[in-house]
Amino acid sequence: ADGELVQYHYGLKDLVTILFYIFIAIILHAVVQEYALDKISRRLHLSKVKHSKFNESGQLVAFHLTSVIWCLYVVVTEGYISNPRSLWENYPHVYLPYHVKFFYLCQLAYWLHALPELYFQKVRKEEIPRQLRCIALYLLHIAGAYLLNLTRLGLILLLLQYLAEFFFHMARLVYFTDENNEKLFNVWAVVFVVTRLFTLTLYILVIGFGLPRVESQALDPERGNFFSFLFNNILFRMSVLLLVCLFQASVMWRFIHFQLRRWREYWNEQSSRKRAAAAGTKQQTKLLKRDSGYHENGVVKAENGTSPRTKKLKSP
């Protein structure tokens, strides 16, 4: 009827929906690979290692761009950005609007489809552990937010994470086309730091101040309230915040270490180029001096190797 808002809950039938969209994701993956990435990579003549990274970044750029636009539309439509209190008010958020539930199911389907794609794309054995770890972390966080009724917080965190990942993989694509162009890596570095700060602030706001003020603090799995009662205990709340801060600090430390190594390699490359240019200039100067006949073995000679002095003609 007019005026009624239909909302949804998770259940076992979600598994069938996820399975269907896994096949859809595999088809879309093949379309992007066939009609976009393969045509570009053939023109670039990349090595096997770069070709694998190019395909990975190309697929993730398409996925992250779509997810950022979709996620931004959802959080703006639902008012999660304009009203931050909605992230914890009326917790647990058991019933979801259609586009929120559909977004989470598609996210789970995409990251599950990435497992068979490791075989279809013939990913190198050295790269498989890293990609499996990445897929497992995304599935753990997305499924955790979906099943523990933290979908609103999960949407904001995914938006921040995907935004930083989009700039990183876009910078890699630009680098493969032109190895001297690393400007987008600098943009990614700024976006990464800003998103980490927003993520940490959001955790502190929701866990430290939001969830402890929820009216229903009793453990009630039937209503979807799993752990809000734990946040009444200040020791538990501070322990969770400490773990979050340590995790974010470790991420930032790896990022800083990566940037320092990258800058060191850049300056070493620049200095080696300068030394090579200086050596080439000296060698060219020596050749010019030798060819122009300035001196040779302490004796000044002309260009044809003869003495520059004028010869006196003998009288007949």
Backbone angles phi, psi at 307, to 5 degrees: -70, 140
Q: Looking at 149-163, 200-214, 274-288, which range is the least confident one?
A: 274-288
Identify any residues that bridge with 96 across adjacent strands, giving them in sequence order.
Answer: 8
Gap between the Cα atoms of 305 and 292, Å rounded: 10
| Contacts of 271-274 spanning 24+ positions with Cβ under 8 A | none
Higher pLDDT, 89 or 116: 116
Q: Is 163 helix (H, G, I), strand (E, B) or coil?
A: helix
Nearest to 149 by CA among 81, 198, 216: 216
Q: Is the peptide bond before 116 cis (omega within 30 degrees of 0)?
A: no
Instruction: Tell whether the model's pLDDT for residue 65 goes beyond 90.
Output: yes
The CA angle 80-7-92, to the nearest 5 degrees, is 60
Strand blocks (E) in 124-278: none
Evaluate if residue 213 carries a pLDDT over 50.
yes
Highest mean pLDDT among 29-43, 129-143, 176-190 belongs to 129-143
Calculate what percentage of the chain has a pLDDT beyond 90.
41
The answer to whether residues 86 and 74 touch, using CB atoms and an 8 Å cutoff, is no
What single-letter DSSP state applies at residue 233?
S
Is 300 a residue whose pLDDT tops 60?
no
Asked if pLDDT for residue 216 goes beyond 70, the answer is: no
How large a percentage of the chain has pLDDT more than 70?
82
The pLDDT of residue 181: 75
Predicted pLDDT of residue 316: 45
Q: Distance between CA 203 and CA 168 in Å, rounded? A: 23
Cα(294)–Cα(213) distance, rounded to whole angstroms? 89
Q: Is the pLDDT of residue 85 over 70?
A: yes
The Cα-based distances of 20 to 8, 125, 131 in angstroms read: 19, 29, 23
Amino acid residing at 263: W
What is the Cα gyration radius of the chain? 31
Q: Which two tokens stand for residue 128?
A: 């498989």
Average pLDDT, the chain: 83
Residue 128 scores a pLDDT above 50: yes
Q: Average pLDDT in the 112-138 region?
A: 91
Reported pTM: 0.81
| Pair 202, 161: CB distance under 8 Å | no
User: Is the separation of the CB atoms in 115 and 133 below 8 Å?
Assistant: no
> pLDDT tens, 244-273?
889 888 988 988 888 888 788 878 877 887
Tell which wins on pLDDT, 282 or 1. Answer: 282
Of the listed ranges 31-45, 48-62, 138-152, 203-217, the least confidently predicted one is 203-217
Burial 155-183 (b: 16+ CB within 10 A, else e): bbbbbbbbbbbbbbbbbbbbbbeeeeeee
Domain positions in the chain are: 7-273
d(CA 298, CA 316): 34
Residue 191 has pLDDT above 70, yes or no: yes
Of 39, 36, 40, nearest to 28 by C-alpha is 36
